[in-house]
Amino acid sequence: MSTVPTVGGKRRTMRTPLDRSPWLLRGFLGVWLFVVIAPLIVLVVYSFFDSRNFMMVYEPTLKTWESIFTSGRFEVTVRTLRIALTVTAIELVLAFPSALWLAKGRCTKTTRAVVLALLTIPFFLDQSSRIIVWRGILDENGMINHLLMMLHVIQSPIKGMLYTEAAVHFGMVVSYFPMMILPIYMAISVIDDTLISAAADLGATPARIVADIILPLSLPGILAGVVFTLGPALASWVEPNLLGGGFVNLLSNSVDSAYGALRYPVVAALSSFVVLMIGVIFALLMLLTRKFADLSTSFRSLQS
């Protein structure tokens, strides 16, 4: 519901479609609570139970959560968080200038359309299919070694390109790059060019324009890209299995092992911990973006 000024200084209330049909909003909230919130509550509750002889024991206990921090799973958790944050940082460094070039750079409409089409192609392919191609490229007998040996650059195949953390990092960056660049591109593309032109006319350097105008106004896209990247990276299963080869275990591997052993409370605890980490990181990002909120609001008021 909103108000608009009328002749004589009076304000008239305008009703939105949601105001006229409140059952639409209530129905959406009901479905959202049932599909999203209820399973999360069940997941957290299951994490405080135990299992014995492949059976659930419905007795409240902290044993399952204690095992996350006292066993080898804590090392796996730290490794997962470190790799996910590193991948997200690398993608942000690569995606922001790329999105800036696509949205405001000197590229033709045809080039922009082609690049955006190429960025959306991975969404139509299975993730395992995309990653297994890189396994064939990076393998000891793969395309890179074969090409380098054919050009007499190396005498013997390069070892160590697979089954390492570097390979897992590379696979995640390649897989989740579209999820980072597309939200940032959408946020930058809606920035009014007159703001950039006005800043340039007043003598602002390109770096100052990016730091003072484009970056604050694109923070919603950056935040969305970080969330869309960090979440899948924390729960990644394909990359550590196909490119890590069992030598780089992440939380997804622990979840898979616990599920195979029918230890459902452990699965619930590990999954709840991933959700908790995502929530904490998202809250920290929200606090960070508040520093730029006033500047972003002032610029958007100028746009309107």
pLDDT in tens, 130-173: 888 888 888 888 888 888 888 888 888 888 788 889 999 999 99
302 pLDDT more than 70: no
Alpha helices in the chain (DSSP H): 17-20, 22-32, 38-46, 63-70, 73-104, 109-120, 127-138, 143-150, 165-189, 193-201, 206-209, 215-217, 219-234, 238-242, 251-260, 264-290, 293-303
User: What distance in Å separates the CA atoms of residue 254 and residue 237, rounded to the nearest whole number?
Assistant: 10
- Band (pLDDT 50/70/90 cuts) for residue 32 is confident
Q: Note the pLDDT of residue 7.
A: 52
1 pLDDT more than 70: no
Residues forming beta bridges with residue 56, ordered by sequence position: 51
Q: Helix, strand, or coil here: 86?
A: helix
- Using CA atoms, how far residue 258 sits from 15, 54, 128, 254, 267, in Å, is 52, 11, 22, 6, 6
Average the pLDDT over each of 1-5, 85-89, 180-184 and give the range with the smallest value: 1-5
The model's pLDDT over 199-217, given as tens digits with 9 standing for 90+, comes to: 998 898 999 999 888 998 8
First to last CA, the chain: 20
What would the two tokens of residue 106 be? 């000197």
Nearest Cα neighbor of 241 from 168, 170, 177 is 168
42 pLDDT more than 70: yes
83 pLDDT more than 90: yes
Task: Give all domains of the chain, ordered by start, each with its CATH number.
Answer: 74-303 (1.10.3720.10)
Q: What's the pTM value of the predicted model, to 2 decimals?
A: 0.80
The model's pLDDT over 225-277, given as tens digits with 9 standing for 90+, comes to: 998 999 899 989 899 998 988 888 898 888 888 888 888 899 999 889 888 88
